Chain A
Amino acid sequence: MTAPALPTISYLDPSVLARIGNLELLARTVVEGFINGLHRSPLLGASTDFAEHRAYMPGDDIRRIDWRLFARSDRHYVKEYEADTNTNFNVILDISPSMRYGASADDGRPSKLTYACYLAACLTYFSSLQRDRVALATIDHDIVDYVPPSAKHLQLILHTLDRVDRKGRDAKVTPGRSTLLAPLRKLSETMRRRSFVVLISDFYEDPDQVIDALSHLRGRGNDLIVFHLLDPRELNFSFSDASNFIDMETGDKMPIIPEYLRQQYRELVREHTAALAKRIGESRADYSVFDTSKPLDRALFAFLSARQRFNRVR
C-alpha cells in the first residue's frame, strides 16, 4: 500500500521523536500535528456526531427514538451516534528479541521496538480521541502484557509501552524463538466484541504460519491492520565488512560476506513481504511495510485510511 503524499511534518521523524521521553507527549505531538496536516487533505470527512438510524428494537431506550423522523415516516427509529459506534481498539505489539534491532547512535534512529512503541502510542492516542476503548497486548512466544479494552486505559497503555520500550533498550538480548500463533490465538479468545486490531511485528515467520496466526483474529470478525516494521538495513542489507552474523532470535551464528549475499537477501525479503501482502490482503486485512527510518505519519495515514475503508464496508 502506498500512502498519498502528505505535507512534510518534520517532527514526525523517528530520530526527532526519539528525543521525546514522554510517550503521551510524543503521541499528542504526532497525532495533533498529523491531524493539523490532514485538515488540508482532501480525504478529510469523518464525523464524530451522528452516524445512522436503526429500527427501534424492544429494549432500546425510548429517549433515543428520533421523534422528528417518526413524525415524517410514522416509524420508530433509534438515532445512533458515533460514540455509540466506537469499537474496541486493540494494539498487539510484538516485543520479540528481533524487534530490538535497529537502534543507531549515529543518526539517532530508534530500534524497531521503540518505533513500534511510538506507533502504538500514537494509534492508541488517536483512537482515544475517537473515544474508542483502547487495549494493548505485548507478545513474544506468549502474551507478555495485556491491558484490557477501556476508554480510560490510555495512560495505562502508555505506561506499559514506556516500560516495554525501556526494557527493550536496557536489557541484554536473550535469544528465544517467538511465534505469533500461540499468543494471537489466546488473544482472539479474549476478544468478545468485534474489535479493531492493529498488529505490529517484524514477521520473521513463514507467511503461511503468519496467516494461520492471523486467521484466529480475523475469524472473530475483527478488523485487522498489520504493520510490518523493518529496519533499513534489514531491507537493504547494507553491510560492508565480512562478519559473523548472530541471529537475535535463535542465537545461531553464520559467517557472512555481505557483498555476495546482498542481492539474494534483498530478493528474499521482497518475496517475503510480497507474499505477506498478498496473503494478508486475501484475508481482508490491511498490510503495510514500514521502514523505521521513515516518519510516523505514513503509519497513521495508513491506519486512518484502513479505518475509513472498514467503516464504509461495515
Chain B
Amino acid sequence: MNFLAPAFLAGLAAIAVPVIIHLIHRERRVVVEFPSLMFLQRIPYRSVRRQKIRHLLLLLLRCVALALLVAAFARPFFERRRAALSTTGAREVVVLLDRSSSMGYADRWTKAKDAARKVVTGLSAGDRATLVLFANDASVASEPMATPDRIIAAINAAKLSAEGTRYGAALKLASQILAASTLPRREVVVITDFQKIGWANHNEIVFPRGTTVTPVDLGGASSSDVAVSQVTTDRDSTPQRDRVTVAARLINTSAATKAVAATLSIGGRDVQTQRAILPASGAQQVAFTPIAVPSGATKGVVHITPDSLTPDDVLNFTIAPDEAVPVLIVEPTNPRENQSLFLSRALAIGDRPSFRIDVKRVDALTPRDFDGRALVVLDEVAPPTGPVGARLRALIDGGGGLVVAPGGSRTETWPAEWRALLPAVGQTVDRTNDAGGTLSSVDYAHPIFEIFNAPRSGDFSTARFLRYRALTAQPGMTILARFDDGSPALVERLVGRGKLLTWASSLDSYWTNLPLQPVFLPFVHQLGKHAGRYADPRPWFTAGEVLDLSRHGELTAPFLSGRAADSTTELVLEAPSGQRERVTAGGPNHMITLREQGFYELRGRDTPVGSGRPIAVNVDPAESDLSHLDPQDMVAAVTAVNGQRQPGGDVFASTPQEQEQRQKVWWYLLLGALLLMGIETLLSNRLSKAMSP
C-alpha cells in the first residue's frame, strides 16, 4: 500500500493522546479543594491504579479511529504494478470510429468500418473492446462487456452523420473508459481521416500512462473537394414586385482549377444553372437571376456536380415571403394631428425586419383587427374591454406584444383587469419649468437597449421630456429606463408568453423631443422587435446545431395563430429520414438537435404532410476543409504526461493520483473512523453511567 500524502502519517503521533488521557491527563486536569484528606490518606494508596490502563476496549477504539483518520488523510492506494507492455495480459481496447460528414469522401467510410472490424476480430480471449462513434459529439455504440459479434454488428449498423468533426469529445470518452478499466493493457484505435479542422490541442485530455494509441489514418494529403459553402438571398421589394436574388459561394480545396455547374432548385424544381470556373484553392460567387418570392416558405437548393465528397455539394435553404412584423397602432377617437406619425414612419423604415403598420381608431376596433398581429401599440388609448379586450389579452398571452403609452388619458377609468397588469399610472409630471427631464438610467443589458451600449451608439441624454406620467412599478415588473428624477420611463412586464411595455411619455413630439432625436428610429425598432418577438430568420441550420423553437417564432407562428395560443401546443417535427418528433413552441421539448442533412418539416398536428414549414439543414461547411492532421501530433498530445512525451509505453500503470482517485480508499477509512467514534461515544457514555455513584 502506498500513500499519496505520506506526510499526514505524522499525525499517527496523535494516537498517544488517548493513551495520555487514560494514563495521566484525566487524573490531573481538575483540582478539588477538600476539607481534609485525613480519611483518604488512611486508605491504602489505591490511586496508583491510575498508572494502569482502564477500559482497554475504549482505548483501542480511540486509537484505531485516530489511525484510520490519519490514514484517510494520507490518501492510501494499492499500487497495481503491471507487467511491462508485452504480448501478455488482457487488453482494454477502445475503437474511436469517425462518422463525421467528411468520412463520406470517396470510400473512406467503407475502409473505416473494415478497419474497425479488423481490430475487433483481432481481440484475444479476455480482451475487451468498446466502440465509440463520434462526429460533433461522441457516444458509446457498444458496451465494454459486449462480445465481438455484437461490436461488429454495431459497426455494421453505424451510419455516416451530417455533423462536423470534433476529436475532443471522443478522446475524453476514451480516456474515461480506460481510466475505469482494470485490465493490464490499454489500447485506443483512432479510425478517422484526421481532419485538421476537428482538432484542437486539448492538453487536459491525457490517456492513462502506458496506453497505446494506434491511429488508422484514412485521410490523405491529396484530398480535393468542391463545395457549396454559402447561399445568400437578397430581397428586392417594391410595391410592384417582390423578388429575391440567390447567390452561392463555391469553394475549391483542390490544387487544380475546377469547372462546375451550379443549379438552383426552388420548390423541388430546377430553376437555373450557372457554370463557373473555380481556381485552385479558391472560391467564387455564383449569382442566379432574381426570381419572384414564393407565396409561402419554400425549399431552395443549390447543388453542384457531385464529386468525391457529395454531402457538401448541396446546400439547402428556405425562402419565405416578407416576414414583416405586423403592428397595429390604436389611436384615440379624436387624436392629435399626426399623433402616430412619428412612430409609424420610424417603424416603416428598414427591412430587417420590416414592420407592417396599420393605424386604427379605438372606436372602430374589432376582435379581428388583432388577428395575426405581433405587436399592438395603445397610443394614449385606454385598453379595450369586452370581446376586443379579451382578444387583445389572448394575443399577449400567446406571445404578442403590447406597448401602452398612457399620455394624458384618464387612467383611473381604465378597466381594472388591465390596470392590474400595468404599472400604477400617477399624475402628469410637468418639467417645462426646468427645460425638461432626461433619461438618466437605461438598462443597457436589456435587448431593447443593448445596441446602444457601445460608445457612440446612440445618445438618449439629448432627448428632453417636458411631460410624462409618474409610473410606479409593481412586483414582477422590470424598469428598463428611468427619468432623471427617478421616475420609471419604460416598464416591462411578462404576461403569459407575451410582453407588456409601458412608456411614460408620448410617442410623438407632443410631450418630448425624443422622436426628433437620431436614437428614436433604432429605439422604436428595437422596441418593436423585442415586443413583437421578432427573430432574424435563418435560411438554414447546420447539422448538429440545436434548434430552440422558443427563439424562432417565425417557424412556429403559422401553427399557433388563430387558436388559443399556447406555448405547450404540440407540434410535429419530421426529419428528412421520416423520423417524427413531438415538439412545442415554448413548453417541454422545444429544443431539438438537428442531425440530418436535408429539409425538416415543422407542422401542427392537423397540418397535412408536406404543408408544414420547411427547415433547411446542411452539413457543417467546415467539413469541406479536408486539411490533414499528422496523426502523431494527436498521439503525442494524448499520451504526454505533464507536457512530456512518455517513453514508448514501457510501464502500464496509471499515475498514483489516478489510482488513488479510482480506488477511493480514504472514503472507506473515513467511514470506518466515524463508525468507531460513534461506538466509542456510546461505550464511554455507558461506562461513565456505570461508574457514576
Q: Which residues of A does B touch, CB under 8 Å?
A: 97-99, 101, 112, 173, 202, 204, 231, 234, 236, 238-250, 252, 254-257, 259-262, 264-265, 268-269, 272
Contact = CB atoms under 8 A, between A and B. Distances in A.
A234 B34 CA distance: 8
A242 B38 CA distance: 18
B34 A101 contact: yes
Given A240-B691, A259-B691, A101 B35 contact: yes
A269 B26 CA distance: 27
A245 B691 contact: no
A254 B40 contact: yes
Interface in B13-31: 26-31
A28 to B, nearest CB: 30
In the A-B complex, the 5 residue pairs with the smallest Cβ-Cβ separation, listed nearest first, are: A98-B35, A243-B30, A204-B36, A242-B27, A268-B39
A252 B37 contact: yes
A231 B35 CA distance: 10
Nearest to A271: B39
23 contacts: A101-B35, A202-B36, A236-B693, A239-B32, A240-B688, A240-B692, A240-B693, A241-B26, A241-B30, A242-B26, A242-B50, A244-B27, A245-B34, A247-B35, A248-B35, A257-B46, A257-B49, A257-B50, A259-B691, A260-B46, A265-B40, A268-B42, A272-B39
A202 B33 CA distance: 16
A234 B35 contact: yes
Given A243-B31, A248-B33, A255 B692 contact: no
Contact of B31 (A202, A204, A244, A261): A244
Contact of B27 (A112, A243, A268, A269): A243
B39 A246 contact: no
A246 B40 CA distance: 11
Given A255-B27, A265-B40, A244 B46 contact: no
A238 B693 CA distance: 6
Given A242-B26, A254-B47, A255-B47, A247 B34 contact: yes
Given A242-B27, A242-B50, A265 B43 contact: yes
Contacts of B40: 245, 254, 256, 261, 265
A246 B693 contact: no
A234 B33 CA distance: 12
B108 to A, nearest CB: 83
Contacts of B29: 241, 243
A99 B33 CA distance: 12
Contacts of B42: 268
Contacts, number: 101
A121 B688 CA distance: 42
A59 B37 CA distance: 58
B240 interface: no
B41 interface: yes
A250 B40 CA distance: 13
A204 B38 contact: yes
A204 B35 CA distance: 8
B32 A244 contact: yes
A242 to B, nearest CB: 4
**Which among A231, A238, A244, A272 has the greatest number of chain B C-beta atoms within 10 A?**
A244
Given A243-B31, A255-B27, A269-B39, 13 more contacts: A98-B35, A204-B38, A236-B693, A243-B27, A246-B32, A247-B38, A252-B41, A255-B50, A257-B46, A260-B46, A261-B47, A265-B39, A272-B39
Contacts of B27: 242-244, 255, 257
B267 to A, nearest CB: 97
Contacts of A97: 35
Given A240-B691, A257-B27, A246 B33 contact: yes
B23 to A, nearest CB: 11
A311 to B, nearest CB: 35
B36 to A, nearest CB: 4
A179 to B, nearest CB: 13
Contacts of A262: 693
B43 A255 contact: no
A166 to B, nearest CB: 19
B30 A244 contact: yes
B685 to A, nearest CB: 13
B17 to A, nearest CB: 17
A238 B32 CA distance: 12
Contacts of A269: 39
Contacts of A248: 33-36
A98 B50 contact: no
B466 to A, nearest CB: 78
A255 B29 CA distance: 10
Contacts of B36: 98, 202, 204, 247-250
A246 B34 CA distance: 6
Nearest to A202: B35
A96 to B, nearest CB: 9
Contacts of A173: 33
Contacts of B38: 204, 247
A25 to B, nearest CB: 29
Contacts of B37: 245, 247, 250, 252, 254
A241 B39 CA distance: 19
A264 B42 CA distance: 9
Nearest to B690: A259
Contacts of B49: 257, 260
A116 to B, nearest CB: 13
A234 B49 CA distance: 23
A130 to B, nearest CB: 33
**Which among A173, A260, A268 has the greatest number of chain B C-beta atoms within 10 A?**
A260
Nearest to A252: B37
**Which among A250, A254, A256 has the greatest number of chain B C-beta atoms within 10 A?**
A256
Contacts of A259: 691, 693
Contacts of B31: 243-244, 246
A278 B49 CA distance: 35
A98 B39 CA distance: 14
